[in-house]
Structure 1
Amino acid sequence: MKTNVAVFFGGRSVEHEISVISALQAINAFDKEKYNIIPIYISKQGRWYTGDNLLDIRNYRDMKKVIEDAEEVFMRPEYGDYNLYKVNTGMFSKRNPVVAELHVVIPVLHGTNGEDGIFEGLLETIGIPFAGCNTLSSANGMDKITMKMILRECGVPVVDYVWFTDRQWLSSKDDIISKVESKLGYPVIVKPANLGSSVGIGKASNREELIEKVDNAEKFSQRIIVEHMIEQLKEINCSVLGDADEHESSVCEEPIKTGDFLSYEDKYMGGSKTTAGMQASEKRIPADLPEAVSEKIRCMAGETFRVLSCHGVSRVDVMVDEKDNSIYVNEINTIPGSLSFYLWEASGISFTQLMDRLVQLALKRKRAIDRKTFTYDHNIFSLGGGVKGAKGAKGAKI
């Protein structure tokens, strides 16, 4: 019997289109002899759809029509119900008939509301096996501030930074500027704390530019991070596959940037190949690095994956300061563009094998979770006597 794998993509995110590209690449890589693939597209309005028309990227040129031609669906937030249901039914149809029983979910959702733990929390509520980071590790990996706090605490090097909220910026702008200037100096990099794909990121070389870049970043996020900028910068990426206890790192790549840092255009719009996602960006694979440096980065990527309790496939982006060869972790992408398949192909694992590994990892984790205890068999309400809490400290008689 084939395994029914649901691939979720799209979503309420500024990285919506990139998610579509990544997901269709992944769907095409599956071994169709082993798996039935159910595409589930989440619109920019947050509604779920399935249908064969979602498999052709050309159909997304008309977002309204692609939805009209698909079947709207939903899942019930009930533990153990892995069914995908129709939303709309005919007058004489069974109410909410089942479209498919899902066995495994592969989330290919980039950015907010998909890569940040929100969607993963729904999957954990339902209890369905899924590949990728769980709610906690997704949230920690997505938020650049929390991620850097955890990494620094665990001895993984990160650059110095200052963080604040959008409300703090509005009420205490002068104090924040003074803190940035005294702790970091210029130039700095300003980022929304919880976005990927270089959205909302800017360089500031003076106070005026700092204000401008923060004002732009706070349009995208409630939390802002300002980081020391490495001027003699070489950016290196490395993918990690597995789980926190057993994982492996890919070869390293050096993405080619056109400015001071990798932009959205650098990452996803390589030449005219706008449907190729991260695969289209210009890069050197493997990166032109001494073997010892490459191995250090691979180990650092694996340690980042481990301390954040990651799962599935991630990409860790590091920064090399060519002034003194210091290496810092920049960020982790827990659902990387194109699922970093090109890094695994260069490491001897095909895209088809990568997708098979993700399914197996999902099932392995589910077996491990099911061995844990989540509730006790006895019911304290059946024991009689006083049960405290219902009416305050004095309790209530049953």
Structure 2
Amino acid sequence: MSKLKVGLIFGGRSGEHEVSLRSARAVIQALDLSKYEVVPIAITKEGEWLPPAASLALLPDAPALAPFVNCAPEVDGDAVAIIGDPSRRGLAHLGDRLHMEPLDVVFPVLHGTYGEDGTIQGLLEMAGLPYVGCGVLASACGMDKVIMKALFRDAGLPICRHLWFFRAEWERAPTEVIARVEGEIGYPCFVKPANLGSSVGVNRAVDPLALERAVAEAALYDRKIIVEEALRVREIECAVLGNDETEASVPGEYIVHDQRAGFLDYTEKYGQTGHVEFVAPAPIPEPMAREVQQMAQRAFRAIDGAGLARVDFFLRRDTGQLLINEINTMPGLTEVSGYPKMWAASGLPFPRLLDRLIELAFERHRERARNRTSL
């Protein structure tokens, strides 16, 4: 049986570029070489698409990964792109003449803007290529924390108090925005870009000066800023897998070993500081674990998710109430990421998880192919 050719897209124009590189490396190492032929496709921070050999060189430990991927020298060295034309399905090598490298499925291991927000998904839909993960709508809604929370609220899911505003509003009338935050949310609070992940651009504000600094940083990453109440919580996560029919993993939890770590920022999540540890299963009662799983699947359905997502929860220390914080439609797949760890703890090791994600990509593609596109 011939191998499936998997176009692995990573990097991207995002504050989560480096996380994507680490996720791509982990995926390459875990894919079953007897089933798949991997074509690496990197997108630089500036948005340039790199041919396979140059893409591989961008990854950590690139020489060790070389046996796992296809970097055909006869077509390498040209600029590449995926063209939104279903008659040219695959990776286009744009040299002196157009050369198409067929792809069976695309795995967009892209986190954050221009990857997890529906943009690359729209291109792949136009190209008629099966791809891993959520579609255009779910990706866009899952990236925008404001829209996401509105959908959760409409689905009857509990969320924390929050407000949002445009960067232009802040630049025009910062005093009014501060007064609104103080009146509706209060201190302490968390300030976040509405469209980003991995805790990039997130800060805790305890007074007006800290709020100004936090908004200024968040505004570097997005035109829309969200402010949420700061609660004393445990941070619980749950992994969802499936399309129309879903299953949820055992929940996991970030355990803080050093209270000086503060909140789980980018460094704490990916810097391996030793201050925090992700454990799965989470040390919570079985009835609560089932509630987390049910709520995670409801959140997935609320955004019309497909393939995979990680749903993050707050467990209030004062009341014991579960709140949904957010959903991540292309969660980190690195060696320290919660999504693969929760499935491993549920009896589904990473290589088999990747098999299932690729199966779900084809399943969703077949289902969409049933739709009429003309009268």
Q: What is the TM-score of this pair, normalised by structure 2?
A: 0.90
Determine if contact 2:267/2:273 at 8 Å carries over to the other structure.
no
1:58 counterpart (37, 58, 61): 61
Gaps of 5+ in 1: 61-68, 90-94, 273-279, 377-398
Deviation track 1:336-382 (CA, whole Å, cap 9, x = no partner) reads 11172121111111111111111111111111111111112xxxxxx
Corresponding residue of 1:33: 34
4+ residue runs of structure 1 moved beyond 6 angstroms? none
Whole-angstrom CA distance in 2 between matches of 1:281 and 1:15? 20
AA of the residue aligned to 1:358: L
Equivalent residues of 1:341, 1:350 under 8 A apart: yes
Task: Write the deviation string for residues 129-163 of structure 1: whole angstroms up to 9, x where unpaired.
Answer: 11111111101000111100110111011101110
AA in 1 matched with 2:297? G
**1:84 alignment counterpart:** 91
How many residue pairs match? The answer is 354
1:288 aligns with 2:283: yes
1:374–1:49 Cα change, 3 Å: same
Residue 364 (structure 1) aligns with = 363
| Cα distance, 1:85 vs structure 2 | 2.0
Paired residue for 2:268, among 245, 266, 269?
Answer: 266
Distance of 1:307 and 1:260 partners within structure 2: 31
Deviation at 1:175, TM superposition (A): 2.0
Matched, 1:331 2:333: no
Deviation at residue 52 of structure 1 after TM alignment: 4.7
Counterpart in the other structure of 2:340: 341
Tell me, in whole angstroms, the C-alpha distance in 2 between the residues paired with 1:365 and 1:285.
29
Matches of 2:324 and 2:225 in 1, distance apart? 18
Residue 256 of structure 1 aligns to a residue whose secondary structure is: strand
In structure 1, give the amino acid aligned to 2:60.
I
| Structure 1 counterpart of 2:61, one-letter code | R
Change (3 A) 1:334 1:345: same
1:22 deviates by 0.3
Q: Quick one: which amino acid aligns to residue 134 of structure 1?
A: G
Distance in 1, matches of 2:133 and 2:333, equals 14
RMSD of aligned Cα (Å): 2.0
- Residue pair 2:261, 2:268 contacting (<8 A) in 1 also: no
Indicate conservation of the 8 Å contact 1:268/1:281, yes or no.
Answer: no
Instruction: Give the match's secondary structure for 1:36.
Output: strand
Cα-to-partner distance string for 1:184-220 (whole Å, 9 max, x where unaligned): 1211110010010101111111122111211111111
Task: Report how far residue 330 of structure 1 moved.
Answer: 0.7
Distance 1:178 1:16 in 2: 35
Q: 1:49 is paired with a residue of what secondary structure?
A: coil
Residues 1:215 and 1:271: Cα distance change in structure 2 (over 3 Å): closer
Q: Which residue of 2 aligns with 1:388?
A: none
- SS at the partner of 1:226? strand
Distance 1:5 1:233 in 2: 40
Contact 1:256 1:266 (C-alpha < 8 Å) held by counterparts: no
Give the Cα–Cα distance (whole angstroms) in 1 for the partners of residues 270 and 308 of structure 2: 19
- For 1:183, the equivalent position in structure 2 comes to 184
Question: How far 1:32 sits from its partner (Å)?
Answer: 1.3
In structure 2, the residue matched to 1:18 is: 19
What corresponds to 2:242 in structure 1? 242
Distance 2:145 2:90 in 1: 35
* Shift of residue 59, structure 1, vs aligned partner: 4.6
1:66 alignment partner in structure 2: none
Which residue number in structure 2 is paired with residue 233 of structure 1? 233
| Structure 2 equivalent of residue 310 of structure 1 | 305
How far 1:116 sits from its partner (Å)?
0.6
Taking the aligned partners of 1:236 and 1:212, their CA distance within structure 2 comes to: 28
Q: Quick check: which has more Rg, 1 or 2?
A: 1
1:57 alignment partner, SS class: coil
3-state SS, counterpart of residue 48 of structure 1: coil
User: Match for 2:305: what amino acid?
Assistant: C
How big is the shift at 1:281? 6.7
Q: Distance in 2 between matches of 1:75 and 1:224?
A: 32
Aligned partners of 1:269 and 1:281 also within 8 Å: no
Amino acid at match of 2:262: D
Contact 2:90 2:129 (8 Å CA) reproduced: no
Q: Is the 8 A contact 1:249 1:302 kept in 2?
A: yes
Question: CA-to-partner distance for each residue in 1:252-290, whole Å, 9 max, x for gaps?
Answer: 111134533211011111149xxxxxxx97212211111
Letter in 2 for 1:291: E
Secondary structure of 1:267's counterpart equals: helix
Asked whether the equivalents of residues 193 and 221 of structure 2 are also in contact (C-alpha less than 8 Å), the reply is yes
Task: Please list every run of 5 or more consecutive structure 2 residues that lacks an aligned counterpart in the other structure.
Answer: 64-75
1:59-208 aligned within 5 A: 59=62, 71-89=78-96, 95-98=97-100, 100-208=101-209
1:34 and 1:291 map into 2 onto residues whose CA distance is 37
Once the two structures are aligned, what percentage of the paired residues are identical? 40
CA distance in 2, matches of 1:113, 1:189: 24
Structure 1 counterpart of 2:265, which letter? S
The range that moved more, 45-54 or 144-153, is 45-54
Q: Distance in 2 between matches of 1:186 and 1:75?
A: 47
Change (3 A) 1:13 1:281: farther
Q: Does residue 1:350 correspond to 2:353, yes or no?
A: no
- Matched residue type, 2:215: V
Q: Normalised by the size of structure 1, how large is the TM-score?
A: 0.85
